[in-house]
C-alpha cells in the first residue's frame, strides 16, 4: 500500500475530502506550516499523526524547506500531497520529490496561475472555470496536469459563489488523482503530459452558456 504525507496551512478542506474518500493508501502524517491550522485537529480526529513546522521559526525559505523535507522523510512517503499549503517551495525541495509531489490549483491551468483566480476569471469574463490537479515542478503552477474539473460561470457570480462551486469539484478530483497514483495508473511522458492508463473514452463536451436546441 502506498503511503502519503499531506501538507496543509489552514482549514484543510481538501485534506478532509481525501480522508473521507477512504483511499487505498496509508496517510502517514499531516504537517502544517501554521500552528493554528484548523486542519490539524481534523487530522487528530482521524487518528493521523499531526505535526507543526512553523515557517516563522526559520529565517529563510531554504532553511524551512530543509527542515520540512527532513520531517517528511521520517515517514518515507510515496507521495507528498499539497492541500492548501500556502508556501512557495524552493527548487531543491521540488526536485527532491520529483514525480511524487502533487498540488491542486483553483483554475483550469494553464489559465490563471497564482492567486486570486476566481476574481481574475470573473474579470476576464470566461464562461468556464474550474480546478486542476498537477504534479509540482519548479515553475509555479506549470507542472504536468493529472485531472481537471470544469464548472460554468453563472450570471451574478461572485468570487465566493464561483469559488464554492469550484471547491466542490476540488473535493472530488483530488482524491481521484491520489487513487490513480496509488493504483499505478499515471505516467508522465518525456514531453510533460500525464497518461492515465485504462481510461475509458467518453465523447462529450461541456458548453457554457448552454441552450437547448
What residue has cell string 507528498? 80
Report helix, strand or coil for 19.
helix
The C-alpha cell that represents 26 in the structure block: 496509508
Annotated active-site positions, please?
Answer: 105
Q: What is the DSSP string of 53-78?
A: --GGGSSSHHHHHHHHHHHHHTS--S
Q: Which residue do the cell numbers 481574475 mark?
A: 120
Enumerate residues 6+ apart whose C-beta is below 8 A from 63: none
What separation, in Å, do the N-terminal and C-terminal C-alpha atoms of the chain show?
49
* Tally of CB atoms within 10 A around 167: 17
Amino acid at each position: 500500500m502506498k503511503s502519503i504525507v499531506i501538507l496543509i496551512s489552514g482549514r484543510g478542506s481538501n485534506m478532509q475530502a481525501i480522508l473521507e474518500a477512504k483511499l487505498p493508501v496509508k496517510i502517514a502524517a499531516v504537517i502544517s506550516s501554521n500552528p493554528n491550522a484548523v486542519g490539524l485537529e481534523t487530522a487528530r480526529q482521524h487518528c493521523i499523526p499531526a505535526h507543526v513546522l512553523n515557517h516563522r521559526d526559520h529565517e529563510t525559505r531554504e532553511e524551512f524547506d530543509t527542515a520540512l523535507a527532513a520531517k517528511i522523510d521520517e515517514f518515507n512517503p510515496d507521495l507528498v500531497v499539497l492541500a492548501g499549503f500556502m508556501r512557495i517551495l524552493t527548487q531543491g525541495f521540488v526536485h527532491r520529490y520529483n514525480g511524487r509531489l502533487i498540488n491542486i490549483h483553483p483554475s483550469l491551468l494553464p489559465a490563471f496561475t497564482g492567486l486570486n483566480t476566481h476574481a481574475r476569471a470573473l474579470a476576464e469574463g470566461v464562461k468556464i472555470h474550474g480546478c486542476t490537479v498537477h504534479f509540482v515542478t519548479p515553475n509555479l503552477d506549470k507542472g504536468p496536469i493529472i485531472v481537471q474539473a470544469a464548472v460554468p460561470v453563472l450570471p451574478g457570480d461572485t468570487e465566493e459563489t464561483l469559488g464554492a462551486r469550484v471547491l466542490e469539484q476540488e473535493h472530488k478530483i483530488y482524491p481521484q488523482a491520489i487513487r490513480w497514483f496509488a493504483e499505478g495508473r499515471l505516467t508522465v511522458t518525456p514531453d510533460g503530459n500525464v497518461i492515465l492508463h485504462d481510461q475509458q473514452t467518453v465523447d462529450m463536451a461541456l458548453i457554457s452558456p448552454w441552450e437547448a436546441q
